[in-house]
Amino acid sequence: MTPRARSKTRTRIRQVEGGHTSERSDQLATEEPLEIRLAAGGRTRTLAITMRTPGADFELVAGFLHGEGVIGHRRDARELRYCTDPALDAAQQYNVVTVELASTELPDLPGLDRHFFTSSACGVCGKASLDALESSGCESLPEGFEVDAATLYRIPDRLRDAQGLFESTGGLHAAGLFTADGELICLREDVGRHNAVDKVVGWALLEGGLPLTDRILMVSGRSSYEILQKALVAGIPVVCSVSAPSSLAVDVARRFGMTLVGFLRGERFNVYTGSERIRLPSAVEATR
């Protein structure tokens, strides 16, 4: 049997701190898609695909189905199982959970068809998510846009200072759109960081400002696949966060030529991909 996906993924980064750079390994929170299928009366249906860090998948699925009103009690789910076809690539296994319902009929839930893609075979993987982006027409972002490291140092404080709702609630994420000079031109807050990004991109769309090929996106918290996906579609070449990116976020950035910066705090940050867009001081360049 193929080992289940791990919750951490190792990667190589270039760390910039105090005018010096160093290469080292780092660990990312793994991000993989999980396909949720319902089975009843001899029929099987894909209900949704959600991005998650592997681990406690059955609990995740049960909680999701309960929250959506599909099951109300443990007895409503006869069995939860992985789809582990040994003929599949290792990366595709343990990314599908099938829930055998006690009912003999599948529920009629057309509003829950939120999956990004489906497959007639068991299993989905991160590569399929990237391929789906290409199939939808996403292309690598153009080169040419650059930003000074000193500008990146300033934008977390500017984002935080502009978070009016956060000051009063303490429980909101933020997404901010910045110019190459570090000017904040749009900030939106929401309980979900993905929603905050959607609001920023929606503002740009209504203002006729897409694509955002000369802008920087800064998000509170971490960078995930969904955030990189939204930034890619909007044409944003540089995405920064105060925390870590997930493994699939790094994969998206690498595949589509984006610059991904994490742990942007004070005069320190990690560049996970696309370091050519960041202009470093001459003293830093000399240490390469």
- For strands 173-178 and 184-190, give the pairing: antiparallel
Give the integer Cα–Cα distance in Å for 229 and 137: 12
Whether 18 contacts 149, CB under 8 Å? no
Q: Residue 47 corresponds to which tokens in the numbers above? A: 């209900």
Residues designated catalytic: 122
116 three-state secondary structure:
coil
Considering only CA atoms, give the Rg of the chain: 21
Helices vs strands, H then E, count in the chain: 8, 14
For CA atoms 98, 103, 108, 112, give the dihedral sign: negative
Give the integer Cα–Cα distance in Å for 249 and 191: 20
Whether 247 contacts 117, CB under 8 Å? no
